[in-house]
Chain A
């Protein structure tokens, strides 16, 4: 007995059905009562269980090249609808991990499941669930943008009708009929994103999607990622633009020298490293008395004085006490700013030699 997900032809509701290969079933859509017949394919069906749809599960992945271990026994999982940021310095093993996830290179050890399907065993089935944007986006230069996208639509077995609107959406409408060989790097990159989301795959794997883009392109890609998340797409994104990941990711994993050194929410990582926020207080006139009053507060890590400004690294909860101490010492506060530690700092801390 196998299960299969079918989409209602009228209202697009997804229905789970069970049967044996070759079985012919009469179906009625529970939502709109549309009737239809479904014949189970003769070959073995490899379909995700509904609960596994759009999940990524990587366990004990290892990849070595001769003596060099590019990825060393890493494990992580990404839940449905989550954006997972994959961070690491150059050469840390990000692209190797992604390529192993798509079975582009043969892992030495470990298992990878996309939508619950084992990539190494049933690559063809598992990859049906993925849209991928490689680090080095390339197309067939002799073909136009539209011809390229239509080719990928054919291979993905999705409708070609979506292609012209996708090209337009990524600001390539004027260039749609031009050879991709004449495109700028930014245009190729945008077309690469269009190719990845072609056919609305449940999982998106993006390897440095903002590389080579101008600021407007970066914003466009970021908005697209958010939009795809709203649709329930699971997104795995590697990047070295840390601020970007910080903004859009639910969780991040940090890889360094092939080892996954941390995996948590951005806040969680900050807490683990006990990175404290920075308070910047400007007073009317700064005195040693005020400075010492702040410095002597328990929980204050560091105080730096510059003209009339104090930069204080302390627990976030200490803010009120700091203000009180300054006022008590005779200072009059002109301005106060709080800066949370950035992912950059978290990243630097985790990837220090």
Chain B
């Protein structure tokens, strides 16, 4: 593998997305939404808690939005080029499918991370100027976790881009997956949870004991993993939870959750490379 081939492909992806004004548009959208959440979230309260509330508000909204943004970036990355015809030209050169996939993940990943950094970063600075005692380190941790979360969906969408033989089917698949992780899975899991918990005993208690299977099932939904990870690692959000409603099992640690997110990226990226190798262009 020649690294400069990978870098050339990554650079091209970045240039392409800058030229179609993608980065600017999505960054502005992220910044505006963060500010809106911060402004309405901080009404009637003050201090660092406000950024905490902003983060917990953004965790929900961010998981909706960033998963969409990552899907839009990635679903056509491979199949779109095959359909348009530019992939055959690219692969006729001295490149391999592996280099192309790595280059695409790096390039599109950089676009996604820059968007998150600019969008959330600018908003964070504005909030920081208006609210005293802001812990910027924790805010950066939040941004970092959000980037990793975005990469999970990018990796997933790259995989989708190699599975289907049409761009439109890949888009359909991505939309279905978005609904699955954001809406269908949580509803099913909460539904099962609600019917299996014995509320007569738990209601007496201040702590709601969530069974292990629920936590395990949630590991298969990157959105749940992301929101749990934010809740457990960011101080201010943590303090909301510390009031004592939910207790997590001992094995359900931030490092496990981070590992799961990284595993999602790696597994689907490997699957994307494998599928692309089998594909006829």
Contacts and interface: CB of A to CB of B under 8 A. Distances in A.
A152 B92 CA distance: 11
A239 interface: no
B91 A138 contact: no
Output the residue of B16, B20, B93, B281 with the most chain A CB within 10 A.
Answer: B93
Interface stretch (A121-129, A248-256, A258-266): A121-129
A132 B92 contact: yes
A134 B16 contact: no
Contact of B281 (A105, A123, A142): A105
Output the residue of B5, B19, B94, B95 with the most chain A CB within 10 A.
Answer: B94
B85 A136 contact: yes
B79 to A, nearest CB: 14
Nearest to B99: A124
A303 interface: no
Given A104-B280, A140-B16, A142-B19, A157 B89 contact: no
B94 to A, nearest CB: 5
Nearest to B22: A142
Given A104-B88, A134-B88, A139-B86, A127 B93 contact: yes
B85 A137 contact: yes
A156 B91 contact: no
Nearest to B90: A155
A158 to B, nearest CB: 10
A264 to B, nearest CB: 28
Contacts, number: 79
Interface in B4-31: 4-5, 8-9, 12, 15-16, 19-20
Given A143-B16, A155-B5, A155-B9, A99 B281 contact: yes
A257 to B, nearest CB: 20
Chain B binding site: helix, strand, loop or mixed by DSSP?
helix
A123 B92 CA distance: 9
Given A99-B281, A154-B8, A143 B19 contact: yes
Contact of A142 (B20, B85, B280): B20
Interface string A143-160: 100010001101111000
Nearest to A65: B280
A130 interface: yes
Given A142-B20, A143-B15, A154 B4 contact: yes
A102 interface: yes
A12 interface: no
B91 A104 contact: yes
A31 B12 CA distance: 41
B96 interface: yes
A314 B94 CA distance: 52
A104 B281 contact: yes
A142 B93 CA distance: 21
B97 to A, nearest CB: 10
A103 B281 CA distance: 9
A113 interface: no
Given A106-B280, A138-B84, A127 B12 contact: no
A104 B82 CA distance: 11
A142 B88 contact: no
Given A99-B281, A147-B15, A151-B8, A125 B94 contact: yes
A195 interface: yes
Interface string B72-108: 0000000000001110111111111000000000000
Given A127-B94, A156-B94, A151 B89 contact: no
A130 B85 contact: no
Contacts of B2: 157
Contact of B92 (A134, A139, A147, A179): A134
A127 B97 CA distance: 13
A44 to B, nearest CB: 14
Contact of A157 (B19, B20, B94): B94
Contacts of A192: 89
A124 B96 CA distance: 7
B16 A195 contact: no
Contact of B94 (A128, A139, A151, A179): A128
Contacts of B89: 132, 134, 137-138, 152, 192, 195
A156 B93 contact: yes
Nearest to A133: B89
A125 B95 CA distance: 9
Nearest to A179: B19
Output the residue of B2, B92, B96 with the most chain A CB within 10 A.
Answer: B92
Contacts of B16: 140, 142-143
Interface string B247-281: 00000000000000000000000000000001011
Nearest to A156: B93
A127 B86 contact: no
A179 B18 CA distance: 13
B75 to A, nearest CB: 17
Interface in B204-226: none
Contacts of A105: 280-281
22 contacts: A102-B91, A102-B92, A104-B281, A105-B281, A123-B96, A128-B94, A134-B92, A136-B84, A136-B85, A137-B85, A138-B85, A142-B15, A142-B16, A142-B20, A143-B12, A143-B15, A143-B19, A155-B9, A155-B93, A157-B4, A157-B94, A192-B89
Ordered nearest first, which 7 A-B pairs have the shortest CB separation? Answer: A105-B280, A138-B85, A136-B85, A132-B92, A104-B281, A142-B19, A154-B8
Interface of B: 2, 4-5, 8-9, 12, 15-16, 19-20, 84-86, 88-96, 278, 280-281
Interface of A: 99, 102-106, 123-125, 127-128, 130, 132, 134, 136-140, 142-143, 147, 151-152, 154-157, 179, 192, 195, 205
Given A104-B92, A123-B96, A155-B95, 5 more contacts: A103-B91, A125-B94, A130-B92, A143-B12, A192-B89
